[in-house]
Homo-oligomer: A and B are copies of this chain.
């Protein structure tokens, strides 16, 4: 009655209620040390005798003790919540990135919170900073195109929020970047098209807001240049990374006095739009027009003929991003990733062939 620790069990050593979760106090009592020492072991703050540490770790393991996330967050003023901040329109990209992040987070106490955003919102920066502060997010992962927004990054730095940006080129110091080198994939696409013998080659670039649009165009030009080829002005169109814009650009290209024999679309959505334009014109892929996309979206293998495209290891990128983020700021929780840069690869399928004239 006078011992506050023996609330629902008389015996001391066995004072571990079955269903109830242990606290750091229970562990301390079981190990015969103070809470502070247990805390030190859990947080690997060193300065604990090996013997003491081992004894505590044994008990922690035995009872599968995990510190309460909310209590910890309250005391540390920092949660174990990681937010994915994204304005990605491609659902497959979103799901793959999430899967990758969750792969990286498996077996840890970190949780993934999803925070889509809209770059058009006038209160975007304030909203993001406010939620980070209020929820005490451990850090955030940013995908294109919001990852390319330097003003947002400035705000994140200001509130000292750890972040990792996923983008086509390096925009930041390496510890904050996953680079996807879209440039390289686009150059590969160019070489493939040139190798097939095409000379009248078009490109439908993505919107200015996406750095990837610029990079894919740049890489494509470099790849063509290796064959002394280039994209002439009338063959260079601008789409919006949407199916509809791809279709319209496709129609425009096909209505040219001399239509191109091959087109590299900035992403698969637009590439599929070009298929549509080809069909509507009563023409065929790849006989009348070779098409290359970028993304390797599911539709690339659903459509007929299957789309030659460039693949990015998106799930792997998610895993790497979270490893980078966590290992930078909690080096005991996670190993740093072996590489922070990934390479796109060309997947050749049925939508590309030699031009029929050749």
Check A114 against B116 for contact (C-beta < 8 Å): no
Q: How far is the CA of A346 from the CA of B294 in the complex (A)?
A: 32
A39 contacts the other chain (Cβ, under 8 Å)?
Answer: no
Sorting the interface of chain A by its residue count into under 10, 10 to 19, 20 to 34 or 35 or more gives: 35 or more
Q: How far is the CA of A92 from the CA of B94 in the complex (A)?
A: 10
A63 contacts the other chain (Cβ, under 8 Å)?
Answer: no
Check B66 against A74 for contact (C-beta < 8 Å): no
Check B66 against A70 for contact (C-beta < 8 Å): no
Query: Which residues of chain B are near A92, meaning CB under 8 Å?
Result: 91
Instruction: Name 27 A/B residue pairs within 8 A (Cβ), A-sorted.
Output: A21-B134, A68-B74, A69-B134, A69-B136, A70-B70, A70-B71, A70-B73, A70-B74, A70-B136, A71-B74, A74-B74, A81-B111, A91-B92, A91-B94, A91-B96, A95-B95, A98-B114, A102-B116, A109-B134, A112-B113, A113-B113, A114-B114, A243-B302, A272-B302, A299-B299, A302-B303, A303-B303
Query: Which residues of chain B are near A71, meaning CB under 8 Å?
Result: 70, 74
Q: How far is the CA of A303 from the CA of B74 in the complex (A)?
A: 52
The chain B residue with its CB closest to the CB of A279 is B304
| Those 5 A-B pairs whose CB atoms lie nearest each other, nearest first | A91-B95, A70-B73, A70-B74, A91-B91, A70-B70
Query: Which residues of chain B are near A299, meaning CB under 8 Å?
Result: 298-299, 302
A163 contacts the other chain (Cβ, under 8 Å)?
Answer: no
Among A92, A279, A298, max chain B CB count under 10 A is at A298
A267 contacts the other chain (Cβ, under 8 Å)?
Answer: no
Check B135 against A114 for contact (C-beta < 8 Å): no
Which chain A residues in 252-307 approach chain B with CB under 8 Å?
269, 272, 275-276, 279, 298-299, 301-304
A53 contacts the other chain (Cβ, under 8 Å)?
Answer: no
Query: Nearest chain B CB to A105's CB is how many angstroms away?
Result: 10
Check A243 against B301 for contact (C-beta < 8 Å): yes
A311 contacts the other chain (Cβ, under 8 Å)?
Answer: no
The chain B residue with its CB closest to the CB of A72 is B70
A79 contacts the other chain (Cβ, under 8 Å)?
Answer: yes
A248 contacts the other chain (Cβ, under 8 Å)?
Answer: no
A99 contacts the other chain (Cβ, under 8 Å)?
Answer: yes
Q: How far is the CA of A302 from the CA of B87 in the complex (A)?
A: 22
Which chain A residues in 67-106 approach chain B with CB under 8 Å?
68-71, 73-74, 79, 81, 91-92, 94-96, 98-99, 102
A133 contacts the other chain (Cβ, under 8 Å)?
Answer: yes
Q: How far is the CA of A91 from the CA of B134 in the complex (A)?
A: 30
